Amino acid sequence: MSKPLSFYRSYFLSKTMSFLRRRNGTDSSKTRVADPNIKKDGAADDDKKKDEYKIPQRRNYGSKKWSCWDNCCWFIGLICSIWWFCLFLYNTMPDSIPQFVTMAITGPLPDPPGVKLRKEGLMANHPVVLVPGVVTGGLELWEGRHCAEGLLGKRLWGGSFGEFYKRPLCWLEHISLDNDTGFDPPGIRVRPVTGLVAADYFATGYFVWAVVIANLAHIGYEEKSLYMAAYDWRLSFQNTEIRDQSLTRIKSNIELLVATHGGKKVVVLPHSMGVQYFLHFMKWVETPAPRGGGGGPDWCAKHIKAIMNIGAPFLGSPKSIALHFSIEVRDIAALRAQAPGLLDKDVLGLQTFKHLMRMFRTWDATFSMIPKGGETIWGGLDWSPETETVNNSAKKGTDNSTRNTGGNGNICNTKGVNYGRLISFSKDWAETHSSKIERVDFKHVAKGDKLTNSSNCDIWLEYHEMGNRAIKAVADHKVYTAGSILDLLHYVAPKLMARGASHFSYGIADDLDDPKYDEYKYWSNPLETKLPNAPDMEIYSLYGVGLPTERGYIYKVAPPSDCSIPFQIDTSVDGDSEDSCLKGGVFSGDGDETVPIISAGFMCAKGWRGKTRFNPSGIRTYNREYKHAPPANLLEGRGTQSGSHVDLLGNFALIEDVLRVAAGATGEDIGGDRVYSDIFKWSERINIKL
């Protein structure tokens, strides 16, 4: 009778194990000692042999249990294997295959704007200048401390951010500026990366200007007709000139582009904070040396065809208030609520929140983003341009129970929203009419009682010098508008704001001919300076709409602890309805997720429209809005119709507008204004002297 398969398997394993034991023994000539239980006189019984060899096999192999560690190792190994296999396929397959797969799923892909316009016969014409914004430009190390050995000439910002993970405290020390001077600390030199690679990608795979550059290349542009006006976005605008001569370099390069292109003027594309930086540049270049560039009053008229401002925070952004006040924005506050204490803990020597606030507060350029124009622009206790009147205030106007429709018709319901209240301490104070609010004058409250053990804090934050009495006074003031927010920041961080106030201003000029407005701190505020005398020049405001954009915050006093930031966004607070504008302690309006429409659109819609005191030569202005549409699937990446603040640089409609103007078109040629929001109606509600 044939034996079962299990017998042969067991027999083979027994012979193998026997052989291995003989090989591993100390005396290879010795034979294995016989088992006394096995008979010596005759052939072994098949069943006994079977049992003899099956039992060890079961004990040593069949009965082994997998631990959690084994499961984890195998799972990680499986994931890594799949990842490397997919990476191998991606790098070895022909380029046409991913495109073929995408087309099979989504259908034929539309031509990029550059390819489309090239087929129409459009070609490169006017040279183009790109001006990056805050954060997006690369920074590299040219001198550092001992902990930064081996990093000379390498990027500290932008790229892979590998050094952040390897040595976080060293990285923070080098990326921060000196609190007193606003320049590099002694023994450290960090400088902006130059060339188009300075801001084509922020990190691997995350484009900034790369899509715009690629489409410009499709119609004939190349590096000699493109210039990336890179600068150190951490420094105040004037300090970029003092340390690096960045403004002088922009002036010289624009003059070179014009001279080498037969006198054709440049088209300038500033993005985000780069918009304010270029406003500063236009005033600087006209100002006589040595305070300015000495180009004369007609320099802009001779050298600039159009300025196409992208995601322009002309009048600032409420996000900057939250960052300066508590180093939070909506997403960070939500993360903090989901993982309480995580961002406050000391992880690998890095106390996350405190170090981030210290670093952010040394970057003087961020002061340029604080809202400008006060209550006139942003609204007061009981009104805002977007909602006009709320809570039955004495101010007359239309019914406010409307929806902030903006770009996609369903941002949120603005009924009862007091957008003018940028900071409120509790939901009640955010909604109560101003006549029922009694506020404490915090500005005269002494700061004598320092927090317990605050002297032991090794991270310098001015909150450590406030004390419990001062913190309570700030909360008891209850509500802050754009008119009082500067007083708040001056109170909680006087040293910080003293440095910022020497470089930036946030008001509205009564008389633009007043000699005081010749000081550089006013040059980036469009409400305190004039546009150049260049009647043939055009100014565009290109911005996204249809995305919830931070407009106000509800705060609470954090539980007392040593070295803490005493104020936090109260993420437990939501509106009364599902479509409320208040979610997670943040009031949202319409915009591009970073800049509200009122900041991006007001100047071109009203402040500069026609001949005004801010635009005495009557430069033509245009508002071009791009309605946000998310990508249809993962294969589209960040989408070609996005209205988000950075992703807007990959929006095909915007890129097409840019290419047409660069090729010679005017604002009227591309259709003039294109708006989906109520920016013109909101602008009319702003009572400003023109």
Q: Do residues 306 and 539 touch, judged by C-beta distance below 8 A?
A: yes
Annotated active-site residue in 272, 384, 424, 588: 272
Q: At 139, which amino acid appears? A: L
238-to-296, 323, 343 alpha-carbon distances in Å = 18, 23, 34
Annotated active-site residue in 324, 645, 678, 683: 645
Contacts of 96 (CB under 8 A, 6+ apart): none
Determine whether 665 is exposed, middle or buried from the number of CB atoms within 10 Å of its CB (0-12, 13-18, 19+): middle
- Is 645 among the catalytic positions? yes
DSSP codes joined into one string, 74-102: HHHHHHHHHHHHHHHHHHHS-THHHHHHH
Annotated active-site residue in 592, 647, 657, 678: 592
Task: Classify the C-alpha dihedral 139-140-145-147 as positive or negative.
Answer: positive
Alpha helix stretches (DSSP H) within 412-562: 427-431, 468-476, 485-492, 494-501
Q: Do residues 528 and 520 touch, judged by C-beta distance below 8 A?
A: no
Rounded-to-integer distance, Cα 423 and Cα 292, Å: 38
Taken as a whole, the chain contains a residue count of: 690
Place of tokens 């700030």: 474
- Is 562 among the catalytic positions? no
Q: Which residues of 409-425 are buried (b: 16+ CB within 10 A; e: fewer)?
A: eebbbbbbbbbbbbbbb
SS3 627: strand
SS3 127: coil
Rounded-to-integer distance, Cα 337 and Cα 568, Å: 10
Largest pairwise CA distance in the chain: 122
- Catalytic positions are 272, 592, 645
